[in-house]
Amino acid sequence: MKKYLLALIVLVHSYSQAQNITQLEYFFNTDPGFGNATQASITPAANIANMNINADVTALPQGIHQLYIRSKDANGNWSVTNRSFFYKTGNTTSGSLPDITQLEYFFNTDPGFGNATQASITPGTNIANLNINADVNALPQGIHQLYIRSKDANGNWSVTNRSFFYKTGNSNPASNANIVKLEYFFDADPGFGNGIDVPVTPGQNIANLNILPDISTIGLGAHLLSVRSKDENGSWSITNSVGFLRDSLKMFLQGFYTGSGNLTPALLNQGESMDATIADSITLRLHAQYYPYPVVITTKAILNTDGTLSVFFTDIDPTQNYWLSIQHRNHIETWSSSPINFNSNPSYDFTSSASQAYGSNQAEVESGIFAMYAGDINQDGVIDGLDYNNWETDNNNFGAGYLATDLNGDGIVDGLDFLLWETNNNAFIGALIP
């Protein structure tokens, strides 16, 4: 039998002060256990991301398979086991590829190879750009699955590809029924019509409607949010779902701190809100655990005057650790002291200790209470003369309202804001980032 080799590029994360990777192994389809897979020869190093290995696929039959690969460092810690699908062909010589001679499709239930609806094609080795018209007339309104596959001149069938779609009751947009109901629910489905109702103005398109799910009734940690709608004919849409983490954070802003664990209602003072329990909005970013710490998720949240906030992180991997960074429009960017697993530790309090921030980069605003440094007006990561220039301009113009130069959030730009800037400028305060 001719021996086929599958060329692989090994992707392994590296990071500052990482231990050398000393062992690399791979296997197909079934895990034989850590250390029992096929060993690949490597030179120990902290980063082997660009190494190529040849995985021997000789013993595999033709068809679809799964390749798994993982590594171990000098401390005996194994990496995540990475998986990739591939297809082993009978011959890798492109000049001898047989023509594709048959194409068929079916909906929902597989009738068996060769028994589906045939599509007309011109035989060839590549039909990737072929368009077909799948007849959906016999299907009822609702969600369906379309399957499609092809066969070559040697009688070999391709993978059966699947796609979901929704058949509407009327293909004429002008006569589509209005959407009259919208509901959402968390985690378990309570049944159609039993979710949490969202008031909507009936219409054929509510794509730009924003809703604020009430997360106060669910616990901290990983959850699933699902949303669906119903039209005036009683037909329900697809139920769309997204995973998220509900987390509880606490933090203070030095400039807004008024004492006794409270922040000033800056948005109220600056004419942006009528809610006296809200301090301001902030931006939170989750970064990958290892250098260069790319941003994975960005979200905004409302900071309450008691320093608390509930964060809604979507598309987060609950098994991963993330650095958390906080940005505010006139305070120094502040990072968590170390990467956090928000599923196992869904509550994080920056205020309890300076060391809760990376590099202990917080101001003590009251005995045992800590806050982000005020004064980075231009958000360049340092408190310096450029921030002063912005403050001076607004101060000379008697600035008032929603201005970054209003460091204490009282609604006006004046000498009290200057004192905050001056103290931190003299202390050479800047952002500390891993």
- DSSP, res 386: H
Give pLDDT tens digits for 235-252.
Answer: 888 888 877 777 789 999
Question: In angstroms, rounded to a whole number, what is the distance separating the alpha carbons of residues 383 and 420?
Answer: 10
Read off the pLDDT band of 91 (50, 70, 90).
Answer: low
Q: Is the pLDDT of residue 12 over 60?
A: no
Read off the pLDDT band of 90 (50, 70, 90).
Answer: low
DSSP bridge partners of 262: 259
Are 321 and 336 spatial neighbours (Cβ–Cβ below 8 Å)?
no
Res 293: pLDDT: 94
Output phi, psi for 359, to 5 deg.
70, 15
> Which string of DSSP letters, residue by residue, matches 39-103?
EE----BS--TT-EEEEE-TTSPSEEEEEEEEEEETTS-B---EEEEEEE-S---GGGPPPEEEE
- Cis before residue 140, ω within 30 degrees of 0? no
Res 7: pLDDT: 38
Q: Is the pLDDT of residue 1 over 70?
A: no
Q: What are the tokens at 337?
A: 């002291």
Torsion of CA 366, 371, 374, 379, to 10 degrees: 180
Q: Is the pLDDT of residue 3 over 80?
A: no
- Range 399-407 average pLDDT: 97
> Which stretches of 168-277 are assigned E, i.e. beta strand?
179-186, 196-198, 221-231, 240-250, 257-259, 262-263
Q: Is the pLDDT of residue 44 over 60?
A: yes
Res 11: pLDDT: 37
- Range 147-161 average pLDDT: 88
Read off the pLDDT band of 16 (50, 70, 90).
Answer: very low
Read off the pLDDT band of 94 (50, 70, 90).
Answer: very low
Res 315: pLDDT: 74
Q: Is the pLDDT of residue 95 over 60?
A: no
Question: In angstroms, rounded to a whole number, what is the distance separating the alpha carbons of residues 217 and 194?
Answer: 16
By the 10 Å C-beta count (0-12 exposed, 13-18 middle, 19+ buried), 280 is classed as: buried
Are 162 and 108 spatial neighbours (Cβ–Cβ below 8 Å)?
no
Give pLDDT tens digits for 315-332.
Answer: 777 778 999 999 999 999
Read off the pLDDT band of 427 (50, 70, 90).
Answer: very high
Res 289: pLDDT: 93
Read off the pLDDT band of 354 (50, 70, 90).
Answer: very high
Q: Which of 44-65 are b and which e, b meaning 16 or more Cβ less than 10 Å from the residue's Cβ?
A: eeeebeebebebebeebeeeeb
> Which string of DSSP letters, residue by residue, matches 144-173?
EEEEEEEEETTS-B---EEEEEEE-S-S-G
Read off the pLDDT band of 36 (50, 70, 90).
Answer: very high
Mean pLDDT over all residues of the chain?
A: 87
Are 62 and 89 spatial neighbours (Cβ–Cβ below 8 Å)?
yes
Give pLDDT tens digits for 120-145.
Answer: 999 988 887 788 889 998 988 888 88
| pLDDT > 70 fraction of the chain, expressed in percent and rounded | 92
**Residue 413: left if φ>0, alpha if ψ -120 to 50, beta else—which one?**
beta
Q: Is the pLDDT of residue 4 over 70?
A: no
- Range 272-301 average pLDDT: 93
Res 73: pLDDT: 87
Read off the pLDDT band of 2 (50, 70, 90).
Answer: very low
Question: In angstroms, rounded to a whole number, what is the distance separating the alpha carbons of residues 46 and 138?
Answer: 59
- Range 224-232 average pLDDT: 91
More confident residue, 319 or 198: 198
By the 10 Å C-beta count (0-12 exposed, 13-18 middle, 19+ buried), 24 is classed as: buried
Please name the helix (run of DSSP H) or strand (run of DSSP E) that holds residue 387, with its range, or none. Answer: helix 385-396
Question: In angstroms, rounded to a whole number, what is the distance separating the alpha carbons of residues 156 and 151?
Answer: 5
